[in-house]
Amino acid sequence: MKQYDVAVIGAGPAGLSCAIHAAVPGRRILLLEKNSAPGNKLLLAGSGQCNFTHAGDIHDFPAHYGDHGKFLKPALFSFPNQALTAFFATRGLGTETDANGKIFPETRKSADVLAALVKECGQRGIDLHCAEPVTGVSHATGEFEITTPKATYPCPVLVITTGGASYPGTGSTGDGYRFSAALGQPVTDIAPALTPLRIGSFPFAALSGMSFEHLHFSVWRAGKKIADRTGDVLFTHLGLSGPGILDASRDIRAGDEVRLSFAGNLGRGEFAADLAKRIEENRAWQLSTLLAAYPIPERLNRKLLALSAIPADIRCSHFSAAQRSKLIANVTEFPLIVTAPGDFSVAMVTRGGIALEHVNQKTMESKIVPDLYFAGEVLDIDGDTGGYNIQAAFSTGFLAAASIRKRWECR
């Protein structure tokens, strides 16, 4: 059996990045993957087009990871988005950026991103063992022992890059949390993130597929506003989705109320005043015609009138104060009760994971178990849509590898 210097569990972007950047002459790297091929979840990224990072200033990235962005700064700055795109460019894979700043491979194929990474592993002599799931890890002898159905590998350095628990069909089933807990590493509670919201008795189910750019919405819990957001929103058969909702979902719980505003840039008071002015000036018009002046699709207009118990053909001259009050509330703050955020089968990432206070943010090494490192989604990190999560995986994988190399140089 070969003696390895580093064992990496999980061949997603974090594990591949770590293995590639830890591979230096004279050092043997083992990369273990439970699936029959690496990068299953990476292949799904961006609907198969692989939006793997964002074109924004790297100094703005931490704000896209909620409360945990500060932890990621050393990793993001050590291997920023420009370094990642350069990595692929020097290996023959150019990139292109869309109007929203999302960066894709120029081929728009996740498989090409994965192929470049796997090829690099081969060229650097990394032993990539697929279809070899890890069944247990221990540290009782002073060295790590990684057990699989095929062998037990003793190794002085272990990196856990197994991802989270979202999209379990890709192999992300929370293995890393169990391995970490077995080694004495604290793990927080986990939950789905970047996930759609299920709405009880969703009144807009018939409008499934309707989308809104830069829609304002607020989130309320127990009568108190906890968030004010603007983002793209999509109606589904079961509730709400779209980038704006997905990004907000990390902080939304069952029982919360989401209030949608369809009045564009107008707040409730502004919309009420503007509506009153238009009604006064056009009293002979049908209300539905007047509402067409606002950025509200016609089908939604009709639905809002029905939900407000207002006849579709009512004229402004017959529009009562009670009806006006109800319509204003529904247009500017339509209330929807969240039955539950989508589960792990539809969530893009996992909220929670390896507790960050027990990991050195400058090295990705455990503060509890020496020579144990973490990278990627297994950590308690979840970012916004737009390439931020994959960038974090590559960056934390790089930083863990750089830290390991530095320790080799010092020993």
Residue 149 sits in a domain whose CATH number is 3.50.50.60
Q: What is the pLDDT of residues 319-329, one digit of tens each?
A: 999 999 999 99
Asked if 36 and 171 sit in the same domain, the reply is yes
Asked if 398 and 314 sit in the same domain, the reply is no
C-beta separation of 62 from 70 below 8 A = yes
Q: Final residue of a domain: which of 297, 314, 342?
A: 342
Q: What is the pLDDT of residues 240-268, one digit of tens each?
A: 999 999 999 999 999 999 999 999 889 99
Whole-model pTM: value is 0.91
Element of type H or E holding 20: helix 13-22
Strand residues in 236-310 grouped as ranges (E):
239-241, 257-261
Q: Give CA–CA dist 278/126, Å, rounded.
A: 70
Q: Give CA–CA dist 243/248, Å, rounded.
A: 9
Q: By three-state DSSP, how is residue 101 classified?
A: coil
Question: Tell me, what's the pLDDT at 273?
Answer: 95
Q: Which of 190, 201, 204, 200 has the alpha carbon at shortest distance from 254?
A: 200
Asked if 338 and 388 sit in the same domain, the reply is no
Q: Give CA–CA dist 7/247, Å, rounded.
A: 33
For range 260-277, the mean pLDDT: 93
* CATH code for the domain in which residue 209 is found: 1.10.8.100
Q: Give CA–CA dist 335/217, Å, rounded.
A: 10
Q: What is the pLDDT of residues 307-360, one digit of tens each?
A: 999 998 999 999 999 999 999 999 999 999 999 999 999 999 999 999 999 999
DSSP secondary structure code for residue 328 in this structure: H
Asked if 95 and 51 sit in the same domain, the reply is yes
Question: Tell me, what's the pLDDT at 36?
Answer: 95
Domain that includes residue 24, residue range:
6-192+344-410
C-beta separation of 321 from 232 below 8 A = no
Question: Tell me, what's the pLDDT at 1?
Answer: 65
Q: How high does pLDDT run on average in the chain?
A: 95
Q: Final residue of a domain: which of 342, 362, 380?
A: 342
Asked if 171 and 262 sit in the same domain, the reply is no
Asked if 136 and 238 sit in the same domain, the reply is no
Q: Final residue of a domain: which of 290, 319, 342?
A: 342
C-beta separation of 394 from 17 below 8 A = yes
Asked if 155 and 215 sit in the same domain, the reply is no
Number of domains in the chain: 2
Residue 1 lies in a domain: no
Q: What is the pLDDT of residues 221-243, one digit of tens each?
A: 999 999 999 999 999 999 999 99
Q: Give CA–CA dist 66/135, Å, rounded.
A: 33
Asked if 261 and 356 sit in the same domain, the reply is no
Asked if 261 and 332 sit in the same domain, the reply is yes
Asked if 261 and 161 sit in the same domain, the reply is no
Structure tokens at 269: 């008071």
Asked if 102 and 172 sit in the same domain, the reply is yes
Q: Which of 208, 158, 215 has the alpha carbon at shortest distance from 183?
A: 158
CB contact set of 233 (below 8 Å; sequence gap of 6+): 211, 212, 215, 217, 240, 241, 242, 244, 245, 260
Asked if 348 and 338 sit in the same domain, the reply is no
Residue 227, phi-psi category: left (phi > 0), alpha (psi -120 to 50), beta (remainder): beta
140 pLDDT higher than 90? no
Structure tokens at 259: 């209030």
Q: What Å distances lie between residue 144 and 158, 209, 354, 369, 401, CA to CA? A: 7, 50, 18, 10, 17
Question: Tell me, what's the pLDDT at 86?
Answer: 97
